[in-house]
Amino acid sequence: MDRAELGSRALFPDLAAGAYLNHGGISPPSLPVRNAVTRVMEDYARLGTGAIHHRIEERERLRGKLAGLIGAEQGSDIGFVQNTTRGATDVALCMPWRAGERVLCMTGDFPANVTPWQCAAELFELDLTFLPQPTASTLDAWLETLARELQRPTRLLAVSTVMFQSGLRLPTDRIGALCAAAGTELFVDAIQACGVVPVDVRRDGIDYLTCGGHKWMMGLEGAGFLYVAPKRVSRLEPRVAGWLGHEDALAFLFLGPGHLRHDRPLLRRASLVEGGAQSSVGYAALEAALDLLQGAGIEKIHAHVNRYIDALEPELVARGFASERSADPAARSGIFSVTPPRGIDVVALFRAIDPARVALTIPDGRLRFAPHWPNHTDEIKTVLAAVDGALAAVRK
């Protein structure tokens, strides 16, 4: 059986870059993921409609695995969505809002966790308030600010577990405790966390969590998931429900006449957001990727990634880069971001780095390194050579 070996690229034989450091953007599919996609396609090619029964079984199995990944109680707490944005949008549309209720977001957060709340605020006449984004040096002060803000009645707080620019990992346990004390619901965008950072929704009091599968989860685009806490799901308004949102939705297709009814109750589970047909190949890929992650262990992956960053950080600092990494290990994720030396334009520097040697990105003006379990510290000499060459080219 294929398994993830920390520091080994054996399951990525076609990966071109000498050091692939953009898992915070898109992860390349491993051989088990690619094989899972091929298996599903061959199943459909052979059986056509008959293959759908296999897909239903696979998705139910995947719900349980995803629940285990994030510390949820059961698979029925998981609904499948195309991506992080869709998960946030579904919750924003299905909340039983009252006009004037307050929602807190963060400035500088990824738009996937802002735009849906802006749209909901306009549609339902909500009071949308923005908190400043915390940094490694301002996190304690930010928590104090949050506590003061929650003294005002607030229906929901929307945060990202990990800041996509800096890699700062927020203390969701402390945030969850503040929200619980204030009677505020907590929504979390976990796409920069799941797969590389341990997540526990019950421990941290998270009410809703959304995550796409194509970054640290190492699946494909178009297949993600939404968690809804059991105590919250019964209150959601099924405004996004489709035909699969009913109890026994498939009965009329397989049980003969008399089962086609339009009065079947709508689901009171997280899967109420699953309106219709879904990406069979996407979820097969996600399960294959998740098996690798859980086989390696998320805590071990997190430690491995940070050992890689431990070796890279001082080298870049010595070259004049400013690190945005937290000094607190508990606030670290899989992302390591730096700003260039004085007088060096980050866009010019990025363009001068040979993508065949190093694959990375520059979100919001940072040079962002995002290694995962396949990366080995032996790559760092390649990374530094590419950076040195780019610095020389830009300075020239």
From first to last of the 396 residues of the chain, give the pLDDT tens digit.
589 999 999 999 999 999 999 999 999 999 999 999 999 999 999 999 999 889 999 999 999 999 999 999 999 999 999 999 999 999 999 999 999 999 999 999 999 999 999 999 999 999 999 999 999 999 999 999 999 999 999 999 999 999 999 999 999 999 999 999 999 999 999 999 999 999 999 999 999 999 999 999 999 999 999 999 999 999 999 999 898 888 888 888 888 898 898 988 888 889 889 988 889 999 999 999 999 999 999 999 999 999 999 999 999 999 999 999 999 999 999 999 999 999 999 999 999 999 889 999 999 999 999 999 999 999 999 999 999 999 999 998
Ordered structural domains, the chain, with CATH: 19-28+297-395 (3.90.1150.10), 33-293 (3.40.640.10)
Rounded to two decimals, the pTM is: 0.96
Q: What is the pLDDT of residue 1?
A: 52
Contacts of 308 (CB under 8 A, 6+ apart): 371, 375, 376, 377, 380
Question: What does the pLDDT read at residue 65?
Answer: 98
**The predicted structure's pLDDT at residue 97:** 98
CA-to-CA distance for 287 and 130, rounded, in angstroms?
A: 36
